Amino acid sequence: MVPFLSRLDQLLGFVLKAVVVLTGLAVAVMLVVGIFFRSALEHPVFGLEEIVLFSVMWFYMCGAVLASRERSHLAADFMSVMVSDPRKLRIIGTVTTAISLVLAIFFTAWAWSLVSWGIERGQSTPVFSLPMWVSQASLLFAAVCFVLYLARDLVRDLSGKEY
């Protein structure tokens, strides 16, 4: 089971990196195009903001999942300055991971409510009539991934394994 999960994680990492690169490039190009048309040609591209919104949501959430996967997200790690005992630092790290996991579970419930509400209401964008739940689903996807990776991290913290 562990080799399967490891391969699945590697595949997810590959897909996430591809999505982050492609959406990042797409957002940059769309912003340049939008600015050029609005400034130089004095003719805005209607609907471009809708596509940018969807792309940015997935870009940001996939980037956050990558950071969680690699445990490279920003952290205000001032405890290592205040505490020198490695055992105490491991305990603090484990407690931090457990609290983060609980918060991620709440975030997942909230994201599910948001997406299901968006589907129920049939919200859509004004220009292209794209369903809003597509961009909101990025929050749910990220929340579920956060729970999975934080559970993995908590198991590792409790077992004393290094990364």
Output the pLDDT for position 99: 94
One digit per residue, the tens of pLDDT, for the chain of length 163 reads 678 878 988 999 999 999 999 999 999 999 999 999 988 888 888 889 999 999 999 999 999 999 999 887 766 666 666 777 778 888 888 999 999 999 999 999 999 999 999 999 999 988 999 999 999 999 999 999 999 999 999 998 888 776 5
DSSP assignment letter at 84: -
Closest CA to 65 of 99, 18, 119, 30: 18
Which structural domain range is residue 31 located in? 2-159
Domain count, the chain: 1
Strand partners, 131: 124
pTM, whole model, 2 decimals?
A: 0.86
